[in-house]
Amino acid sequence: MKILWTLVILAGVCSVQAQNKKANAQRWDQLYLNPDAKVPVNPSNLVLEATASLKPGAALDVGMGNGRNSVYLARKGWKVTGIDISEAAVKQAQQEAAKLKVEFDARAGDVEKMDLGHSRYDLIVCMYVNLVAVRSSRKLIDALKPGGLLIVEGHHAEVQAMGMRPVNGGPAGYADNQLLHVYDKLRIVRYEDRMMAAEWSNGPEGRAPVVRLVAVKP
């Protein structure tokens, strides 16, 4: 009987998680389909800086959105796979790539449920996907090739305590040193935790608490 109840509880938890994922995808679809939404369209400054001297290889863009970083990397010669939970965002990324006559693999799906492979990518980018980079840390580390680079940027968890709204109503953000802890097997080459102009969801003064991590797999 105890085993049966355990299975029932687990089934209920899985059902709730699936519903939450579906609702999250719908929220992002609505955002990207809203012509008045303030959605970033330019490649991230951190991606520009961290990849400036890198030789192009295989790249994974987690939560690629409209493909702003994926398209940039593809134009630089990277073989890019971009994944996003929003089908609307993926369609926009594909349209932008077609307009600029570049190719990359744009997929709609939940990266947390995908097999990312082993030592497959020279670069993994996680911009404003917040806790996905935490929950999937082992998977992302495994997917990096030795010498591969990981780039993460997102809000600090204190964004809510400051009365600010996280990206599209999603998870609040990263706790103090959380990224340093979950990626302690990598060699950290850059870490920032400060108030700055965020690419998403700034406060009234145009700034927000932001965490940035750049790390290399030994």
pLDDT, one tens digit per residue, over 109-130 is 999 999 999 999 999 999 999 8
pLDDT at 201: 83
Using the predicted structure, report yes or no on whether residue 157 has a pLDDT greater than 50.
Answer: yes
Q: Are 99 and 162 in contact (CB under 8 A)?
A: no
Q: Give the domains, in start order, of the chain with CATH numbers.
A: 2-216 (3.40.50.150)
Using the predicted structure, report yes or no on whether residue 164 has a pLDDT greater than 70.
Answer: no
Q: Are 87 and 106 in contact (CB under 8 A)?
A: no
Q: pLDDT for 47-58, tens place per residue?
A: 999 999 999 999
Q: pLDDT for 201-216, tens place per residue?
A: 888 888 999 999 999 9
The Cα–Cα gap between 206 and 184 comes to 32
pLDDT at 89: 95
What mean pLDDT value characterizes the chain? 88
